[in-house]
Amino acid sequence: MDLTKLLKAKSMVIIGASENPGFGGDTCRNILTYRKDLSRVYFVHPKRDEVFGRKCYKSVSDIEDTVELVIICTAQKTVIPLLYEARQKGCGGAVVYASGYSEVGTKEGIDNEKKLIDVARELDIAIMGPNCGGFVNFIDDVYSFAFVGSYENKRGRVGFVSQSGQFCIDMMNSVGMKYSYAISAGNSRVVQMGDYLNFLIEDKDTSVIAIYLEGVKDPHKFEQGLKKAAKMKKPVIVLKAGRSPKGEATAASHTGSMAGSDKTYDAIFAKYGVVRVDDMQDLRSTASLFATLKTMPKCADFASISLSGGETGICADTGYLYGINYPDFSEKTMQRLRELLPGYATPRNPLDMTAMLAYDADEFAEGISAVMEDENVSIGFIGWTIAELYGSDQEVMLQGILKAVERVKEKPLMIASFMEASRNTELVGKLEEGGVAVLPTTKYAFSALRHLSDFIGYHSDERTLELAIPQMDEQNGKKALSEYKSKKMLADAGINIEAGIVALSQEEAVRAAEDMGYPVVLKIDSDDIMHKSDVGGVRLNIGNAQQVCKAYTSIMDSVAEQASEAALNGILVQKMLPKGVEMIVGVKNDKQFGPMLLVGLGGIFVEIFKDVTLYPVPLNRMEAKEMISSLKAYKLLTGYRGAAPADIAALVDMMVTVSDFAAANKDTLLELDINPLFVYERGKGVGVADALVVLKE
Based on the fold, state whether residues 536 and 398 are members of the same structural domain: no
pLDDT at 47: 95
pLDDT digits (tens, 9 = 90+) for 533-576: 999 999 999 999 999 999 999 999 999 999 999 999 999 999 99
Based on the fold, state whether residues 537 and 593 are members of the same structural domain: no
In a domain, 150, yes or no: yes
pLDDT digits (tens, 9 = 90+) for 155-170: 999 999 999 999 999 9
- CA dihedral sign of residues 254, 217, 223, 270: negative
pLDDT at 246: 55
pLDDT digits (tens, 9 = 90+) for 72-131: 999 999 999 999 999 999 999 999 999 999 888 899 999 999 999 999 999 999 999 999
Based on the fold, state whether residues 535 and 653 are members of the same structural domain: no
pLDDT at 255: 44
Based on the fold, state whether residues 54 and 192 are members of the same structural domain: yes
Based on the fold, state whether residues 329 and 415 are members of the same structural domain: yes
- Radius of gyration, alpha carbons of the chain: 31
What is the rounded average pLDDT of the residues 270-296? Answer: 95
Based on the fold, state whether residues 416 and 520 are members of the same structural domain: no
In a domain, 304, yes or no: yes
Whole domain around residue 504: which residue ranges?
A: 478-488+495-575
Decide: 677 and 585 in contact? Cβ < 8 Å.
yes
β-pair type (208-213, 275-276): unpaired
Count of structural domains, the chain: 4
In a domain, 423, yes or no: yes
Q: How confident is the model at residue 391 (pLDDT cuts 50, 70, 90)?
A: confident
Based on the fold, state whether residues 68 and 16 are members of the same structural domain: yes
pLDDT at 103: 87
Residue type present at position 192: Q
pLDDT at 256: 45
Range in 36-40, 132-136, 603-607 the model is least confident about? 603-607
pTM for the complete prediction? 0.93
pLDDT digits (tens, 9 = 90+) for 398-407: 999 999 999 9
Domain closes at, from 241, 259, 289: 241
pLDDT at 192: 95
pLDDT at 2: 86
- Give the whole-angstrom CA distance, residue 616 versus residue 70: 40
% of residues, the chain, pLDDT over 70: 97
The answer to whether residue 254 scores a pLDDT higher than 80 is no
pLDDT at 245: 65
pLDDT digits (tens, 9 = 90+) for 417-465: 998 877 888 899 999 999 999 999 999 999 999 999 999 999 999 999 9
- Give the whole-angstrom CA distance, residue 585 versus residue 600: 7
β-pair type (501-503, 570-575): antiparallel
Domain closes at, from 221, 241, 261: 241
pLDDT digits (tens, 9 = 90+) for 296-328: 999 999 999 999 999 999 999 999 999 999 999
- Average predicted confidence (pLDDT) for the chain: 93
- The CATH number assigned to the domain holding 532 equals 3.30.1490.20
In a domain, 427, yes or no: yes
pLDDT digits (tens, 9 = 90+) for 496-514: 999 999 999 999 999 999 9
Based on the fold, state whether residues 65 and 150 are members of the same structural domain: yes
- The CATH number assigned to the domain holding 52 equals 3.40.50.720
In a domain, 566, yes or no: yes
Secondary structure of 523-580 in HEC code, one letter for each residue: EEECCCCCCHHHHCCEEEEECCHHHHHHHHHHHHHHHHHHCCCCCCCEEEEEECCCCC
The answer to whether residue 247 scores a pLDDT higher than 80 is no
Q: How confident is the model at residue 339 (pLDDT cuts 50, 70, 90)?
A: very high
- Give the whole-angstrom CA distance, residue 477 versus residue 502: 27
Report CA-CA distances (Å) from 475 to 47, 219, 528, 589, 679: 52, 17, 20, 12, 35
pLDDT at 500: 95
% of residues, the chain, pLDDT over 90: 86
- The CATH number assigned to the domain holding 685 equals 3.30.470.20
pLDDT at 70: 98
The torsion angles phi and psi of 342, rounded to 5 degrees, stand at -65, 160
pLDDT digits (tens, 9 = 90+) for 176-227: 899 999 999 999 999 999 999 999 999 999 999 999 998 898 999 999 999 9
Based on the fold, state whether residues 593 and 686 are members of the same structural domain: yes
Based on the fold, state whether residues 666 and 551 are members of the same structural domain: no
Decide: 352 and 346 in contact? Cβ < 8 Å.
yes
In a domain, 194, yes or no: yes
pLDDT at 474: 66
CB-side neighbour CA atoms (13 Å) of 638: 9
Q: How confident is the model at residue 475 (pLDDT cuts 50, 70, 90)?
A: low
Based on the fold, state whether residues 387 and 503 are members of the same structural domain: no
Based on the fold, state whether residues 225 and 359 are members of the same structural domain: no
In a domain, 471, yes or no: no
Domain closes at, from 550, 575, 600: 575
